[in-house]
Amino acid sequence: MGDKKDELEEKVEENSNEEEKTKSNANKLLNTLLAIIVIITVGCGATIYYSLYKYSKNDPTLTDDNTVKDEVATVADIIDTALNTNTVEENVVENTSVSVGNTTVTTGEADNRKVLNESIIVLYKGLILDIEKMGLVELKYIDNSNPSKDNYVITYYNYENYGFKNSSLGTLSTQVVDGLVKIDSVGKVAISEKYEAIPREIQVVNSIPAVVLDNNSDLANYDTKKTIITDLDGNGTNEYILVLASKVTGESRILLVESTGFVKATIAKMDKSGWDGVSSDGYYLSYNNIEILDVDNDGIMEIIFEVPATSSSPTQIDLLKYKNGDLTGTTDYVCSLIK
């Protein structure tokens, strides 16, 4: 009798343990499901908050009543930080303290003009070239008595003959005249910032492309022919800059021709009377008077025409910008070298 009772109690205990195990497993499953639901809910909520926050930031028309609360901004900023943890810092260099007015700015390099919130410095043969507007520009020397002259003693990125040359530290020249100096140790065109100033290929050939001759057969009469071929405005079609000279007539021309082969404009011209007395052989406009370069970092390569001068240093530059059929700058410039 006692054995049966013990046996019954053992069965009851086993059943109780099975029920406990079943309840424990059910609780674990329920907790797992709740955890998944919480994660999904938090993730969706954070995504919605983040989207609303970004939308409120990018839409300036939203009023104060429609702005997202600070809590949303906090969530979005946390997500933003997480998303950008792998950003590559390409311009990390040793810090340098640079004084600007009464404020000391810590910057990577003294020649990083954008960090200093200054405009790009462009030099042409060591002289300051104003790139603010297209047209005729007077090149400027640097006043050696001006304390700000040292702002030009920086690293420049040099271009010449339609290509990048090197980078170098510009130095102040010895006095040129009346306390005026220029920057030495730089290329023909020197830019204070590093960017892709020649974003598209430039070719120079000793002939006139067929598409141009088909529409301008008279151009074949010139003795010297050079064509600069490039896509100035980046629209996928090439423009042509023709440099032509005739030893018979003594004239020379620089023309801008569109991709269709039609002449857009005469950039500059020089007749025989323009070089009498300069040399017995005469002077002709040449492709050395031209550089193609994006001098203002807008993706469009400007035409830089050096106006011929009798002195060793140029005095005037003509900047031209061609974009989608529109040309700004000075055209039909008549050159003369009579002393």
Model pLDDT, residue 86? 42
Contact 109, 192 (CB under 8 A): no
Question: Which pLDDT value is given to residue 234?
Answer: 95
Q: What is the largest CA-CA distance in the chain?
A: 143
Q: Identify whether the C-beta of residue 232 lies closer than 8 Å to the C-beta of residue 265.
A: no
User: Mean pLDDT in each 10-residue stretch from start to end of the chain (339 residues)?
Assistant: 55 60 67 74 64 53 45 47 41 34 35 53 95 94 90 95 94 88 96 94 95 93 93 96 90 95 95 60 83 94 92 88 94 82
CB-CB neighbours of 75 under 10 Å: 20
pLDDT of res. 52 = 53
Q: Are 252 and 313 in contact (CB under 8 A)?
A: no
Q: Give the model's pLDDT for residue 275.
A: 57
With a threshold of 0.95, does the pTM exceed it?
no
